[in-house]
Amino acid sequence: MIIFRPAQLSDIQQIERLAHESGPMVYTLPAQRSHLIKKVERSIDSFRQAVLSPGEESYFFVLEETLTGQILGTGAINALAGYQEPFYALRNDILIHSSRELNVHSRIHALTMTHDLSDHSQLCSFYIIPSLRESLYPALVTLGRLLFMSIHPERFTTDWLAVIPGVADENGRAPFWEHVGRKFFRIDYNQVEYYNGTRDKTFIAELMPHHPLYVPLIHEEAQAVMGQVHPDAELQCGLLSEQGFEPDKYVEIFDAGPILTANRNTLDIWQHHKLCRVKVVDSLPQSRKYLIGVSHETDFRAVMGEGWLEGSTLLLNPQTSQTLAINHQDKIEPGTQIWCFPVSDKA
């Protein structure tokens, strides 16, 4: 089976391979080994912390094929998007220009750089190998993180976000960047996204315009891609949208991709995840697909598996329980909690 679990330092070589495969589109997963090692070390330390409120913690997960040990995907969560430095975005604003003397009243669309979203918890570093994109496992990366956030509310804020990559071609040409960002930075789009993933964000404050950008003055090609999703990111966008994330009034500062936001209380998984007991049976009386998560102090793991919920008891087959390293409820390690969330076969 394929399991979703926290990343370990022993995974670094495989994570680096996935970082190279993902390319510059996943800027929070840069193909730089020293940065990836720090990312995993920070995650390990974050899991060990007894957190009372969200701060500098970051949690990094991998998707592992249990028989071979192959890492097939990644996903991460930043407890606060802007803890050590602001999280910058472009906010869609409407500015009013009027003249009573000329009887002119104009509503002008403008983009304003802001760090309004700095106090949101951020889902990031989503990547899964292409051969699994049509399977249930992309949903395991997305729902696994959302379940972890739901069962540990003290570690995260009540508002969550995810940056969805915007339009760029295979050569790294992003229309919004070419007509807006390049005029201020004078470097290529792929290069600035690499800096965004590996350096502090002071360069953004130093070089991005601090005055509103009037959209009618921006080239039409750039206007056309504002809020549009990169084709390779449509899967990630769809999974989050199904749970209740919505594009609000913010776009990414370099490629103008949408930033999805949600209050956790409105999300399907927040409302319907359930703490349960487990009973292992040889055959299920009926079955449906569940996201099943096991949480114990510094550890968390989750799978997509067949089961059947009777009251607060989740019936599992031996294979699924073995993958999660659980047996009957009375034999699990003290302090371990088991959670489930029903999912559709098309999740």
Nearest to 249 by CA among 237, 260, 262, 265: 260
So where are the chain's domains? 2-89+114-268, 273-342
Instruction: Say how far apart CA 265 and CA 150 lie, in whole Å.
Output: 10
Residue 153: what are its φ and ψ, rounded to 5°?
Answer: -60, -25
Q: Is 123 helix (H, G, I), strand (E, B) or coil?
A: strand
* pLDDT tens per residue, range 112-154: 999 999 999 999 999 999 999 999 999 999 999 999 999 999 9
What does DSSP say about strands 246-251 and 89-99: parallel, antiparallel, or unpaired? antiparallel
The tokens for 342 are: 């029903």
Query: Tens-digit pLDDT profile for the chain (347 aa)?
Result: 899 999 999 999 999 999 999 988 888 998 899 999 999 999 999 999 999 999 999 999 999 999 999 999 999 999 999 988 899 999 999 988 877 777 777 889 999 999 999 999 999 999 999 999 999 999 999 999 999 999 999 999 999 999 999 999 988 899 999 999 999 888 898 888 888 888 777 788 788 888 999 999 999 999 999 999 999 999 999 999 999 999 989 999 999 999 999 999 999 999 999 999 988 888 888 889 999 999 987 789 999 999 999 999 999 988 888 888 776 554 566 668 999 999 976 55
Note whether 216 and 222 are within 8 A (CB): no
Q: Which residue has the tokens 């802001």?
A: 114
The tokens for 41 are: 């070390």
Q: Is 122 helix (H, G, I), strand (E, B) or coil?
A: strand
CATH classification of 2-89+114-268, choosing from 1.50.40.10, 3.40.50.620, 3.40.630.30, 3.50.50.60?
A: 3.40.630.30
Give the DSSP per-residue string, 303-320.
EEEEEEEETTEEEE-HHH
| Length in residues, the chain | 347
Instruction: Say how far apart CA 342 and CA 347 lie, in whole Å.
Output: 10
What predicted TM-score, i.e. pTM, was given to this entire model?
0.92
Instruction: Say how far apart CA 188 and CA 5 lie, in whole Å.
Output: 35
Instruction: Say how far apart CA 130 and CA 137 lie, in whole Å.
Output: 11
Q: Which residues contact 163 (CB under 8 A, 6 or more apart)?
A: 122, 124, 252, 257, 259
Q: Could you count the other beta carbons within 10 Å of the beta carbon of residue 341?
A: 22
Q: Which residue has the tokens 């088991």?
A: 338
- Name residue 222's amino acid: A
The tokens for 14 are: 């495989």
Q: Which residue has the tokens 């487990």?
A: 278
Nearest to 163 by CA among 231, 262, 237: 237
Which overall architecture, per CATH, does domain 273-342 show?
Beta Barrel (2.40)
